[in-house]
Structure 1
Amino acid sequence: MNYFFYGTLCHAPLLERVLGRPADARAAMLADYRVAWAQGGDHPVILAAPGQAARGLLLEGLTEAEAARLDFYEGGFGYGWRETGVTVATGADAGRVAVARVYFPEGAAIAPGADWDLAAWEARFAAAAVETAGDCMALMGRMPAASVAARRGPMTVRAASRLRAHQGGQEAALRRRAGPEDVAVLSREAPYAKFFAVEDWRVAWRQFDGRMGAPVERAVFVSCDAVTVLPYDPQRDRVLLVEQFRAGPMARGDQGAWQLEAIAGRIDPGESPEEAGRREAMEEAGLRLGALLPVAGYYPSPGIITEYLYSYVGLADLPDGVAGVFGEAEEAEDIRGHLIGFDRMMDLVASGEIANAPLILTALWLQRERGRLRAGG
Structure 2
Amino acid sequence: MTRYFLYGTLRHPELFERVAGTPAKAERASLAGHAVHWVAGQAYPVLIAKDGSDADGVLVDVSAEAAARLDFFEEGFGYRPETVTVETETGPREARVYLSDTRPELGALFDIEDWASRWATVMVSAAEEVMARYGKTDADAAHALWSVFCARGWAREMAAEGAPHALRTDMGRGDLPRLEIAEGGHDGFFRLRRFTVSYPQYRGGYSEAVTREAFCAFDAALVLPYDPVTDQVLLIEQFRYGPLMRGDPGPWVLEPIAGLVDAGEDPMETARREAVEEARLELSDMRPMLKVYASPGYSTEYFHCFLGLADLAGRGTVLAGLDEENEDIRSHVISFDAAMGLVETGEVNAGPLAMMLLWLARERPALRTGA
Scaled by the length of structure 2, the TM-score of the pair is: 0.86
Q: Which of these residues, 279, 283, 299, is aligned with residue 305 of structure 1?
A: 299
> Corresponding residue for 1:217?
211
Query: Match of 2:218, SS?
Result: coil
CA 55–81 in structure 1, closer or farther in 2 if over 3 Å, else same: same
Query: Match of 1:250, SS?
Result: helix
For residues 85 and 226 of structure 2, the distance between their equivalents in structure 1, rounded to whole angstroms, comes to 60
> Corresponding residue for 2:4?
3
Letter in 2 for 1:3: Y
For residues 121 and 187 of structure 1, the distance between their equivalents in structure 2, rounded to whole angstroms, comes to 28
CA 179–34 in structure 1, closer or farther in 2 if over 3 Å, else same: closer
1:303 shift after superposition: 1.3
CA 187–269 in structure 1, closer or farther in 2 if over 3 Å, else same: closer
Q: Which of these residues, 137, 140, 143, is aligned with residue 149 of structure 1?
A: 143
| Contact 1:39/1:110 (<8 A) preserved | no
Letter in 1 for 2:331: G
The reply on whether 1:97 has 2:89 as its aligned counterpart is no
> Corresponding residue for 1:257?
251
Q: In terms of mean alpha carbon deviation, does 22-31 or 331-340 score higher?
A: 22-31
Query: Match of 1:167, SS?
Result: coil
Query: Match of 2:55, SS?
Result: strand
Q: In terms of mean alpha carbon deviation, does 54-63 or 216-225 score higher?
A: 54-63
Q: In terms of mean alpha carbon deviation, does 283-292 or 4-13 score higher?
A: 4-13
Letter in 2 for 1:74: E
For residues 226 and 305 of structure 2, the distance between their equivalents in structure 1, rounded to whole angstroms, comes to 13
1:74-153 equivalences in 2 (<5 Å): 74-87=74-87, 96-105=91-100, 109-110=101-102, 112-119=104-111, 121-122=115-116, 124-134=118-128, 136=130, 139=132, 143=136, 146=139, 148-153=142-147
| Contact 1:158/1:224 (<8 A) preserved | yes
For residues 60 and 5 of structure 1, the distance between their equivalents in structure 2, rounded to whole angstroms, comes to 8
1:231-246 equivalences in 2 (<5 Å): 231-246=225-240
Q: In terms of mean alpha carbon deviation, does 188-197 or 228-237 score higher?
A: 188-197
| Contact 1:39/1:113 (<8 A) preserved | yes
The reply on whether 1:197 has 2:191 as its aligned counterpart is yes
For residues 26 and 70 of structure 1, the distance between their equivalents in structure 2, rounded to whole angstroms, comes to 19
| Contact 2:13/2:23 (<8 A) preserved | no
In structure 1, stretches of 5+ residues that fail to align are none
> Corresponding residue for 1:362?
356
Q: Which of these residues, 209, 217, 226, is aligned with residue 220 of structure 2?
A: 226
Q: In terms of mean alpha carbon deviation, does 284-293 or 177-186 score higher?
A: 177-186
1:331 shift after superposition: 0.3
Letter in 2 for 1:115: G
Q: Which of these residues, 130, 137, 159, is aligned with residue 165 of structure 1?
A: 159
Letter in 1 for 2:269: E
> Corresponding residue for 1:295?
289
For residues 367 and 29 of structure 2, the distance between their equivalents in structure 1, rounded to whole angstroms, comes to 56
> Corresponding residue for 2:265?
271
For residues 135 and 247 of structure 1, the distance between their equivalents in structure 2, rounded to whole angstroms, comes to 25
Q: What root-mean-square deviation, in Å, do the aligned CA atoms of Structure 1 and Structure 2 show?
A: 3.0
Deviations 1:176-205 (A, max 9, x none): 522413251234233211111111222222
In structure 2, stretches of 5+ residues that fail to align are none
CA 30–136 in structure 1, closer or farther in 2 if over 3 Å, else same: farther
For residues 55 and 140 of structure 1, the distance between their equivalents in structure 2, rounded to whole angstroms, comes to 31
1:62 shift after superposition: 4.8
1:53 shift after superposition: 4.8
For residues 338 and 103 of structure 2, the distance between their equivalents in structure 1, rounded to whole angstroms, comes to 49
Query: Match of 2:358, SS?
Result: helix
For residues 283 and 23 of structure 1, the distance between their equivalents in structure 2, rounded to whole angstroms, comes to 47
For residues 186 and 300 of structure 2, the distance between their equivalents in structure 1, rounded to whole angstroms, comes to 15
CA 6–145 in structure 1, closer or farther in 2 if over 3 Å, else same: farther
> Corresponding residue for 2:44?
43
Q: Which of these residues, 296, 319, 325, is aligned with residue 313 of structure 2?
A: 319
Query: Match of 1:125, SS?
Result: helix
Deviations 1:170-229 (A, max 9, x none): 425333522413251234233211111111222222233322222222111111011100
Deviations 1:144-176 (A, max 9, x none): 563643443322211111111112244253335
| Contact 1:35/1:115 (<8 A) preserved | no
1:246 shift after superposition: 0.4
For residues 194 and 15 of structure 2, the distance between their equivalents in structure 1, rounded to whole angstroms, comes to 28
1:256 shift after superposition: 1.4
| Contact 2:26/2:59 (<8 A) preserved | yes
| Contact 1:39/1:111 (<8 A) preserved | no
Deviations 1:255-290 (A, max 9, x none): 211111100011010101111111111111122223
For residues 146 and 173 of structure 2, the distance between their equivalents in structure 1, rounded to whole angstroms, comes to 30
> Corresponding residue for 1:283?
277
> Corresponding residue for 2:370?
376
